[in-house]
Amino acid sequence: MPVHAQRDPDKHVMENAYAKWAPIYDALCGPIFLNGRRAAAQAARNVGGQILEIGVGTGLSFDDYDASTEITGIDISEPMIARARLRAASGRYSFVKGLAVMDAHDLRYADASFDCVVGQFVITLVADPERVLSECARVLKPDGQIILVNHLYSERGIAAAVERLLAQKAHSFGLRPEFPFARLAAWAANHGGAELIERRKVKPFGVYTLVRFRRIEQQRVAA
């Protein structure tokens, strides 16, 4: 099946997958995603102010922020957010202002509420990535940024072939290896209220890609 024909993951499949992941998530994914998390949080700290993290998970990223920011985290998975709440209750993260169970497709925040929206290892897992990105843009203040970090589809070579092969089974485990960058770029081009300002591989291994969009005044998109 060509990569553009792969189905987006089902919301309930993700909820079930992360209910299972929650107890072991930190031990397993903490080290694996460390460089990506740090790069995204550093980029978010450069923006500063009020930051919304979608798919905040167990709150592993709290260690990468500081009191120059105010963090609000949401996640669709109750067991993951329960762990983030426990982490926040340690008292070490006074800058974490709120944690809620919420679907990133329907953010319960007013327009222009945040300076920055961060999505670490989540945009490839949602049922409708374009809708989630539009929700992120809606809750951003003018000039605010969407910062994403993820493994994206390798597009060629053996890695791409393996990712295509794994794609079908991976969704039920809450993973998605075959999501192409082109889809993120196409969203920005069609949305009209966001521009791509950065796309770079995260050092040292370049396995993850960091992508930044800036909120701009909505342009009228030609029909």
Ligand X SMILES: C[S@@+](CC[C@H](N)C(=O)[O-])C[C@H]1O[C@@H](n2cnc3c(N)ncnc32)[C@H](O)[C@@H]1O
Q: Is residue 5 classed exposed, middle or buried when 0-12, 13-18 and 19+ CB atoms within 10 A define those classes? A: exposed
How far is 36 from 201, CA to CA, in rounded Å? 9
Can residue 76 be called a binding residue for ligand X (CB under 6 A)? yes
Can residue 14 be called a binding residue for ligand X (CB under 6 A)? yes
Q: Which of 38, 85, 97, 105 binds ligand X (CB under 6 A)?
A: 105
The dihedral through the CA atoms of 176, 127, 171, 99 has a sign that is: positive
**Is 53 strand, coil or helix?**
strand
55: left (phi over 0), alpha (psi -120 to 50) or beta: left
Can residue 126 be called a binding residue for ligand X (CB under 6 A)? yes
Look at the block and give the residue holding tokens 């500081």.
66
Nearer to ligand X, 86 or 189 (CB): 86
Can residue 77 be called a binding residue for ligand X (CB under 6 A)? yes
Q: How far is the CB of 18 from ligand X (least distance, A)?
A: 4
Q: Which of 116, 122, 136, 139 binds ligand X (CB under 6 A)?
A: 122
Span near ligand X by CB under 6 A; candidates 118-126, 133-141, 185-193, 202-210: 118-126
Can residue 207 be called a binding residue for ligand X (CB under 6 A)? no
Q: How far is the CB of 67 from ligand X (least distance, A)?
A: 21
Q: How far is the CB of 37 from ligand X (least distance, A)?
A: 5
Alpha-helix runs per DSSP H in the chain: 11-21, 25-32, 34-47, 78-88, 129-138, 157-170, 181-191
Can residue 193 be called a binding residue for ligand X (CB under 6 A)? no
Can residue 72 be called a binding residue for ligand X (CB under 6 A)? no
The answer to whether 210 touches 118, Cβ cutoff 8 Å, is no
How far is 35 from 208, CA to CA, in rounded Å? 8
Residues interacting with ligand X, by CB under 6 A?
Answer: 11, 14, 18, 29, 33, 37, 54-57, 60, 74-77, 80, 103-105, 120-122, 125-126
